[in-house]
Structure 1
């Protein structure tokens, strides 16, 4: 036990770091309030928010190596696991070693050794913070399902099904005609490029959103400073001026936010009506041309002819195989699409959209050709913002004029106003860029979806030989078999899990009976029911009750996992009232695992509470940190602590 800041959470996170390494996303997400650092930032540090994994004093003193080491006994032999980092400047190297008896494992083999004892997916179910576990009870349905399927071993079946799917795709690829295989490779490369572009855009959006949040915080600080300077004014009409100032500020903020959301979508089209009209005229020429008519006919044929020929009731006798039908259908579609492309090319080298795209473009441009009303609306919104900005400056000046500020204070006020206006301009610009990014993200996602659709179409065009066809069919039957196995396992585990959760929850929740029963549905969603069987909304549950619910869930899941791993809990009694604390201390901790380590503060586990668990405590330590840089665990006598000595 120890005071806040003495290293209890660091101890917990060090153990997580040993088992999972520095790429662990939940660990990285926990160290910065606003955004998750990269692996590089997590190891080396990210400014004042996070100093990195090495002790700050050690790094200042020139140390270049840090490590986490754990020792335990397994099947009568000593085991030592150590994960270390060597840090020199902006470079670092991570190493993992395990010594089991006389056998030494390194890196991948060492990680495999640790994973067999405690898989990374299980770590957060055995090493956790009592203040944060209620998030498990509050998690959305998909998150709950993923977490439970992983700990219950059901997720492994999905991994097998995915491996079979990849094998199926590979066998189908090998049976494709050369031209179809080349097209498939091109599309897959295109899909990877689009996916990377999407990730880049998402990163840019996240960074921009962070900048906006920082600017908004800076803007709030500047406004508080302006209010502080204005506090020196006299009171004879200050109240009216401040009320008017608040009203105009609210109107200005609302108008700016609304305009920044609307303007990026159509500002170019609104600002260039003559260009829009010329584009519509050119599209009309294209769509009225012979090539345009030919393109429209080809588009209709592409949509209807393959289905009429190959999917209709009038089939040849004897019929062709399904693979042949899919192949000829694919070839016909490609020929028609090529003719459509040629038709588009005939429309002119400088402007040759396919007819369908041209018609869509014309429909989208048409509202902007005569959009005087919309242009006037946008212009009026801009004028209104300018007027409100001018009114804000005047009200602030009036506030100063009714007071008796010194010249120095007045200049300081003017600097604050200028800083505020710069921040507001920057915010407006960034919010417009966010709008543009979101639009581009939508376009890229549609491109990716269309590319994936084309990939699936090509993969289905297979003229497989006997052996390949048998392998493909076997893989598909196995996938269906594993799907049924997953459903069967889920049913079994659901019933076992529901029984265990209810049993443990009744032991922990002794103060009242708002929740009579917890129901686990077929998808592992949790439902809380009262004694009449009516559902209880999550919002009706207190924070302490949610934590007890999550504790019962973790208890049941750790039992179901079958792993003999110590349970380690930081801040074990957070948000739980005194009566339910007794149940946690006397029911959960003695039974949660063969070994349980709790990391309480001095006030959290006082002498009275220690007395409840003293007979189950093997050893206790008090954390001391005399210089604020080094924590030392000092053994203490449990009996003396329980006696209040």
Structure 2
């Protein structure tokens, strides 16, 4: 894990946006950040832990405060509370030899209802990841477990406490378990045990087999019910056949005795009455037709003579009307002829017109013996049409009357064939009894069919369930063998892991012992003070031995020596874990004399890891020590505090470097 950049927005004493580039270079692993006491060095360390771990972060300024109270306290006093504060940390990690870039943003602010809201956003390789964001508390534990963070993010003034055997034991155990894989082995053993516990299915298997036995019994009973139901249905069907045969015999006897006609008597009487009404209506219609001009059909020859006379009288009347008008017309026409027309032509025309008048005058002299009116011909034509219509209507009514008479005769014959009730009463009783027996037998058959269908359905359902269960029994038996093998090999694997874990622990402990002792000897001014360092594999306690082989109580060491021992412990653990995590050291040289400070500067800081962030005062890393560290420094910053506004800004450079910020 390598830190790239941290951005603070109105966090603590840091007003506005303050950024620090934390990237290092090969051979230059150190980022030196200077600041006087109270300028915000520890706040910077807290910010890194807070952005990563949120409520779980062990921040120095939190104390016993609740998380929301602590977040509220961390908003810069000059900042707008509705905008709040934010921390952004960018870093890279290596996942399966591939570098992944993370950008974690944690911000919080007050809403209009004065409620504190906190948001976390995580981008991976520049893309927002909802999955990583939502599971960040668990995801960050895979990157840098919080139990291990104290090994790499620590306060130099408090690191001396790690020289205490109990505190050192907790740190050693945490490092060995988390960083060196020993805890993973133990978790594997526990997971295998949990797997074995989950695989205890013998009770379920027995329950499953009992269920199969119960299904077999239920299926046998269901099959017997099906057989019984089928037999009952066969008996009901046979009884129904007998009853139907008796009913057919009774119906035949009843029909031969005229029973059908007797049952239909009321319908026959009603039909006879309806036909009689039709006959009466037809007779009435015929009378109505006869009351009209229809009888004149008997005088068709006379009507034809009258019609001819009406025509002649009408023509004579028309001619008498025209003769006088024609004479005046002809006179006027002759007068209109010019002298140019030949005399013969005029004479011929006069003769033609005179002959025409004589012919018309002869027609007008016809004897009008009947004295018929002028429109008599039209009336006689209308009478002809009426006679044709009434004649057709009379023919239809006569045909209808004949059909009704036949139907009436047939109805009378049917009614005449109906027997008396006394003659057929016994047959009716017999037929009714036979019909009742058939109805009872049919109801029994229907009930029998329903019972058989229900029994058959239950039998099929139980058979299918048993078939599935029997397939499952094979699977259960196979699974039982598998579980036995799982249990057997899980025990074997757990024993192997137990041995492997013990060997791995012993190996890592020896590695840590060597690394811590080497680190301590590099840092100590007094060579030979501690000849050997041992770590108990059960309690993880430190055991120091002097040059004469006698045990050394850490409490007898000076404050500076205890601090160097604690630093050596952290350095040794980091080296044993591969130095893959950054180290952030706040107040790195407190309580140390000048020789020990030089040893830390020369021998520890440049080799503590690929990335080392030093948060120092001007008295810890002074101008002399700065010169010794300079070849290994990638970046320098100074935290400049304004005592009037109580705010801190980040300026490039360090005391005694070109371009460094002026510090009052």
Q: Output the TM-score relative to the length of structure 2.
A: 0.47
Of structures 1 and 2, the one with the larger relative CO (CA 8 A, separation 6+) is 2
Q: Which has the higher strand share?
A: 2
Find the structure with the greater CA-based Rg. Answer: 2
